[in-house]
Homo-oligomer: A and B are copies of this chain.
Amino acid sequence: MTAEQLKQQRMTYNQKLIETDSFFKSFGELDANAYADGAISKKNKELMGLAISVVTRCNECVLYHLETSIKAEATKEELIEAIKIGVIGGGSITYPNARFAIKMIEELLNDK
């Protein structure tokens, strides 16, 4: 799937979760609270989310935080540095996710 298709699928099913149970609305608000601009800037928090996505080996999370990092004006250099921190933290088993990240970066930065 392309980055755009994955994004659409994410939005569709996040919406269904929220419609199914208010728990998911509250969880989403708490997530937004944690990632809001604060003592650490929004951009650096999203890059933090990207590093976490690599280390926990979650490709859908990688794509989400690439999108939000780019929206917060992160540069390609910053994206790569966050990915490196994920890889050194999580080891060679994170390589499939680092490869996915570089593939999505190509798509997302061409789209810009």
Contacts and interface: CB of A to CB of B under 8 A. Distances in A.
Nearest to A9: B99
Interface residues of A, number: 59
A30 B10 CA distance: 22
B61 A99 contact: no
A23 B89 contact: no
A88 B92 contact: yes
Contact of A21 (B56, B59, B84): B84
Given A23-B84, A52-B86, A56-B56, 12 more contacts: A13-B102, A30-B88, A39-B77, A39-B80, A48-B51, A52-B89, A55-B93, A87-B91, A88-B92, A89-B92, A90-B90, A91-B92
